[in-house]
Amino acid sequence: MPAAFGGRSCGAGADDSAREDGVKISGSYTLPLPPERTYQMMQDPEVLARAIPGCEGLEKTGEGEYRMKMQMALASLSGAFEGRVRITDQTPSLSFRLVVEGAGRIGFVKGEGLLKLRAADGGTEVSYEGEAQVGGTIAAVGQRLIDGTAKMMIKKFFEKFAEAAS
């Protein structure tokens, strides 16, 4: 299977720096805010910068576009990443698509996901579904560790987002 579809190169002479793995993510999280306020806060670069794990800066560069700097750690690898975040396909208070691309010394990350908001239990249930690819040295740590780290980062994002909301 080609690397672009989540396959791995292996065997003698395989170059880990060219490795690329895909991660599918989905789930939901309930926030203690109405959908309108949740949506507004998810468009606010200051709130997002505080909520994104490892984010060191999020600068608006255009309508729904941001430049981001972040530190990322995975197993024994860590490093700075620079990239961009775009918010597209917006339906205010209901849904939007998040597109992320970043690269650094230890590899790259790119992905996109659809976030849907709905009123639930006096707050907002945010459901998400998406896919991300990681490549370069960072992909060498293995799919299970990458999956676990992605889930942990999403959980931390929502926890920090909920803190920012209160």
Output the domain CATH number for residue 53.
Answer: 3.30.530.20
Sign of the alpha-carbon dihedral angle for 78, 80, 81, 87: positive
Would the pLDDT of 12 be above 80? no
What pLDDT shows up at residue 78?
A: 86
**39 alpha-carbon distance from chain centroid:** 17
Residue reference for tokens 């468009």:
43
Domain encompassing residue 139: 22-165
Residue reference for tokens 């949740």:
38
Asked, for residue 30, whether it belongs to a domain, the answer is yes
What pLDDT shows up at residue 41?
A: 95
Contact in structure between 83 and 101 (CB atoms under 8 Å): yes
Question: Which position has the higher pLDDT, 20 or 121?
Answer: 121
Specify the number of domains making up the chain.
1
**How far apart (Å, rounded) are the C-alpha atoms in residues 95 and 76?**
36
- pLDDT for 131-148, tens place per residue? 999 899 888 887 788 888
Asked, for residue 16, whether it belongs to a domain, the answer is no
- pLDDT for 81-130, tens place per residue? 999 999 999 999 999 999 999 999 999 999 999 999 999 989 999 999 99
